[in-house]
Amino acid sequence: MALSKSPFGPLARRLGGAALLPVAAERAILGLPLIIRTIDASRDIVYADGPFAHCCVILDGWTCCYQLLADGRRQILSFHVPGDLPDLQSLHLPSSDFGMAAVTRASVAFVPHTELRKLSDRSPAIVQAFWRETVVTAATHRAWITSLGRRDARQKVAHLFCELYLRLEAVSLAGDHIMPMPLRQNDLADALGLTSVHMNRVLRDMRTEGLFDQRSRRLEIQDWAALAAAAEFNPQYLHLGN
């Protein structure tokens, strides 16, 4: 199957990075057995403490990983868009320490661990690609930790929007500083450690400043330079071009 027509096309491009995967490794990824399911918004995909048997590949829509506190408060740990492999770690861990849910209606491919392990055994290039994905994920988590711990609310929002734009642009889902924005204010608040009231006020103030305009589930960044400066944004941690 051609890369452009396969549901795993975005994943193969992501795993390859700037250096494309060898043809044999790419074909092996495109040939993986999969089960595709459509998940409604706000429904769980993976449950915390549940057993792992598959890895998930996001084909369409947005998902998030999260943890819940005993009182029901939620901390969103990451957002995921098409081409992402949110739970690669499950290949090596017996159970999950986080939940994964659909933010929007999402199409998700489930790939058996047994098949991914066979693929890894046959292909050093795949092992290297999986390691690269793991360390880029760790770098992204470090950037989020810095935002949560040291950036103020305005900086947090600016940094997240810059990151999401570049990640969506990399899979051809954004361009000309316009991107889909299906995240609700409570999703953003749960990701950035803010209250919904505070989140509403920050978004309103940033729109008034002319940094972005948000309407109809779409966000247009009107001043990229100012938004990136507000966040002190350095995209190196995403490793989108290397």
Taking Cα atoms as reference points, which of 24, 29, 23 lies closest to residue 7?
29
Question: What's the pLDDT score for residue 15?
Answer: 73
Q: Give the tokens for residue 12.
A: 């193969």
Whether residue 3 has pLDDT greater than 90: no
Whether residue 1 has pLDDT greater than 60: no
Fold held by 151-238: Arc Repressor Mutant, subunit A (1.10.10)
Question: What's the pLDDT score for residue 20?
Answer: 67
**Please, how many CA atoms are within 13 Å of residue 214, restricted to the half-sphere of its CB?**
19
Whether residue 241 has pLDDT greater than 80: no
Q: Which residue has the tokens 């972005």?
A: 212
Fold held by 9-142: Jelly Rolls (2.60.120)
Q: Give the whole-number percent of the chain exceeding pLDDT 70.
A: 94
Domain ranges of the chain: 9-142, 151-238
Question: What's the pLDDT score for residue 25?
Answer: 84
Q: Do domains 9-142 and 151-238 have the same CATH topology?
A: no
pLDDT bracket for residue 149 (50, 70, 90): very high
Mean pLDDT along residues 63-72:
96
pLDDT tens-place string over residues 211-239 = 999 988 999 999 999 999 999 999 999 99
Q: Where are the beta strands (DSSP E) in the chain?
A: 35-39, 44-46, 54-60, 63-68, 74-80, 99-102, 106-112, 178-180, 212-215, 218-221
pLDDT tens-place string over residues 92-117 = 888 888 999 999 999 999 999 999 99
Whether residue 5 has pLDDT greater than 70: no
